[in-house]
């Protein structure tokens, strides 16, 4: 199936590695061009080079907590490729700890980046999509079911799922689609960190796999293919939903 991605342009945040980079790989493989952002300048420039360099990808060092970042990313897409067709908004996982144990400052920093940074980016990108397009929010299965030891994520991700639904209603008449993606246990650096935090990572991984109907962790590319489809014109009637990519781990209907 042709996803219709040829020559389309997407901004991806948190994309020097992990799920953002995996999505960028899939988009570029199908003919799209991408603007990657991450806080580490060297890492995001290296990621853009791996994707083929300026003809296919450019990297921008940026932090979603900075109010100027969304405009910078939209401008980078227009300057490099003359158009923008959507975005994948992904941020690093917030600090570990229960909701009661993390500090006020950790809550504030996480809110500025994970929550407000995401909302600001969605608003800015949507404003630039005059001819319609798609925005994907990389959240977590914690948007539906709390995860032990991830209190900030349990607090912020459900709110962002609600925001995604709200803006999907608002932007839909302009042909702008918004979808929240809920990755589960996918083998990224974040999950390596979570397993290590238990003190017995091999046992933690085995227990996690036992709770997944497919009995294995996901590969980032498996998420990337789903996200690339969601962003593509092939998914043109898909908006306002939360889509788990979790091997069947969530038990709700």
The average pLDDT across 235-239 equals 98
Q: Which of 194, 114, 198, 204 is nearest to 153 (CA)?
A: 114
Q: Which helix (H) or strand (E) holds 125?
A: helix 118-128
How confident is the model at residue 118, as a pLDDT? Answer: 97
Predicted structure pTM score: 0.95
Cα(112)–Cα(94) distance, rounded to whole angstroms? Answer: 11
Whether 181 has a pLDDT exceeding 90, the answer reads yes
- Reduced to 3 states (helix: H, G, I; strand: E, B; else coil), residue 15 is coil
In angstroms, the CA 195 to CA 34 distance is 31
pLDDT band per the 50, 70, 90 thresholds, residue 236: very high
At residue 194 the predicted structure's pLDDT band, cuts being 50, 70 and 90, is confident
Question: How buried is 132 (Cβ within 10 angstroms: 0-12 exposed, 13-18 middle, 19+ buried)?
Answer: middle
Cβ contacts of residue 181 below 8 Å, gap of 6+?
Answer: 136, 137, 138, 139, 223, 226, 227, 230, 242, 243, 245
How far apart, in whole angstroms, are the C-alpha atoms of residue 240 and residue 150?
Answer: 25
CATH 1.10.10.10 for domain 9-186+222-242, yes or no, is no
- Better-predicted residue by pLDDT, 192 or 40: 40
* Whether residue 196 has pLDDT greater than 90: no
Asked if residue 201 has pLDDT above 90, the reply is no
- What are 89's two structure tokens? 């908004």
Give domain limits for the chain: 9-186+222-242
Please, are residues 182 and 243 in contact by the beta-carbon 8 Å criterion?
yes
pLDDT digit string, tens, across residues 21-71: 999 999 999 999 999 999 999 999 999 999 999 999 999 999 999 999 999
Whole-angstrom Cα distance, residue 193 to residue 239?
32
> Left, alpha or beta for 62 (phi > 0: left; psi -120 to 50: alpha)?
beta
Contact indicator for 243, 230 with CB cutoff of 8 Å = yes
Which structure tokens are listed for 249? Answer: 């781990």
């Amino acid at each position: 199936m042709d996803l219709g991605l040829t020559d389309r342009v997407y901004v991806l945040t948190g994309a020097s590695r992990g799920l953002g980079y995996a999505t960028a790989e899939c988009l570029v493989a199908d003919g799209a061009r991408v603007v990657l952002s991450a806080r580490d300048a060297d890492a995001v420039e290296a990621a853009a080079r791996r994707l083929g360099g300026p003809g296919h990808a450019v990297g921008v060092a940026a932090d979603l907590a900075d109010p100027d970042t969304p405009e910078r990313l939209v401008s980078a897409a227009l300057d490099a490729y003359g158009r923008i067709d959507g975005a994948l908004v992904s941020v690093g996982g917030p600090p570990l700890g229960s909701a009661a144990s993390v500090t006020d400052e950790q809550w504030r920093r996480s809110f500025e980046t994970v929550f407000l940074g995401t909302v600001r980016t969605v608003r800015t990108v949507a404003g630039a999509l005059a001819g319609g397009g798609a925005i994907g929010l990389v959240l977590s299965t914690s948007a539906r079911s709390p995860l032990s030891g991830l209190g900030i994520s349990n607090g912020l991700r459900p709110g962002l799922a609600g925001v995604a639904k709200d803006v999907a209603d608002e932007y839909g008449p302009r042909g702008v689609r918004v979808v929240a993606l809920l990755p589960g246990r996918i083998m990224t650096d974040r999950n390596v960190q979570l397993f290590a935090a238990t003190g017995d990572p091999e046992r933690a991984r085995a227990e996690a796999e036992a709770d997944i109907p497919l009995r294995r962790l996901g590969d980032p590319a498996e998420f990337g293919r789903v996200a690339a489809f969601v962003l593509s014109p092939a998914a043109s009637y898909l908006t306002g939903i939360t889509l788990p990519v979790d091997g069947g781990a969530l038990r709700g209907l």
